[in-house]
Structure 1
Amino acid sequence: MSKFKKKKGGELPAVNTASLPDIVFMLLFFFMVVTVLRKDNLLVKQELPKADQVEKLKKDRSVYIYAGKPSSRYAEKYGTEGKIQIGDKFADVKSLQFALTEERQKLLPELQNSVVVALKIDGETNTGLVTDIKEELRKLNMVKIIYITSPGNELEN
């Protein structure tokens, strides 16, 4: 009688799947970390004016207002006049107060009284539209305004 028995069949051993959940969770974590979620879908053209003294600010208490001509995808539907965009929707000057109040409510309660309005205005936008936006901001007592530009020097172009 022998102590060791010989295998009778030439079958392959089963694949060990013990580490499979670890690999799946590592991949899931990797994609969660590297994925960037875009906050707003731009509906207007954005060629920002250039400035040579640019400073980066925190985004936690900002409300963004985009202004410019509708992008080429929306030009047929909305025309070529300057439009205002808040969030993912177009807004006109009359509905600006409602849209800004709605955006303010999305912020943390302790930050709602110290909102900074960030204006991303296309370089070719009519200044009358910008003036109308600023008038509506004064009515809502949202007087902290910053203009977003791209780095560079306008005179060198």
Structure 2
Amino acid sequence: MSKFRKKKKGMPAVNTAALPDIVFMLLFFFMVTTTMRETSLKIENPSLPSATEIKKLEHKSLVSTIYVGKAKETDKYGTGYNRIQLNDKIATPEDVPAFILNARLDVSDGEVPFMTTSIKADKKSSVGTITDIRLKLRDVNALKISYSTNSGSDN
């Protein structure tokens, strides 16, 4: 009767044959869906003003961002908090209309009314500089303007 003796069964080993496939699928997914920063900041990270009433932008692909603040390379661009960055270069308010018109070339005609210009200005930036930018935006009929802020009331 020893022929039908029951064998002790333990937990079976975990099958890891599919593990490399899963890892590569996840890697491929994140490589495809991740977007990299398109511009490198030549302006120091602006300390944004704070606000209590904020709203998130919805169509980020239709947003053109203008940075205003202190340049990182003060020996090349000068000191002060009134330097303007458009894409990857330091510019003047006179360069803003060309920047907006180039951004309009990248979208379809139906999406142009939904385009927004976001101004990320340092707290210490001059109101005159921001006003100059707004006047140039008005010249090219870019009237949807968003001011980037920090949430909360901390200063």
TM-score by length of 2: 0.75
Distance, in Å, in 1 between the alignment partners of 2:33 and 2:102 is 30
Distance 1:31 1:116, change over 3 A: closer
Match of residue 26 from structure 1 = 25
For residues 81-109 of structure 1, give each alpha carbon's deviation from its aligned partner in whole angstroms, at most 9, with x where no partner exists.
31111112221122221122112222343
* C-alpha distance in structure 2 between counterparts of 1:19 and 1:147, whole Å: 49
Helix, strand or coil for the counterpart of 1:63?
strand
Pairing 1:3-14 to 2, within 5 Å after superposition: none
Q: Describe how 1:1-157 pairs up with structure 2 within 5 A.
A: 22=21, 25-26=24-25, 28-29=27-28, 31-32=30-31, 35-45=34-44, 46-58=46-58, 59-71=60-72, 74-81=73-80, 82-154=82-154, 157=155
Q: How many residues align?
A: 136
CA deviation digits over 1:65-86, x for unaligned, max 9?
1111112xx1121111311111
- Offset of residue 25 of structure 1: 3.1
Following TM superposition, by how much is the alpha carbon of 1:61 offset from its aligned partner in structure 2, in angstroms?
Answer: 1.8
Separation in 1, partners of 2:49, 2:140: 27
Query: Which protein is richer in helix relative to its size?
Result: 2
- What secondary structure, in the 3-state scheme, does the structure 1 residue paired with 2:99 have? helix
Q: What root-mean-square deviation, in Å, do the aligned CA atoms of Structure 1 and Structure 2 show?
A: 2.4
Displacement of 1:33: 5.9
Question: Sequence identity of aligned pairs in percent?
Answer: 39
| Alpha-carbon contact 1:105-1:112 (below 8 Å) kept | no
Q: Structure 2: how far apart are the matches of 1:112 and 1:153?
A: 34
- Residue segments in structure 1 that go unaligned for 5+ positions in a row: 1-17
TM-score normalised by structure 1 residue count? 0.74
SS in 2 for 1:94: helix
Deviation at 1:21, TM superposition (A): 7.3
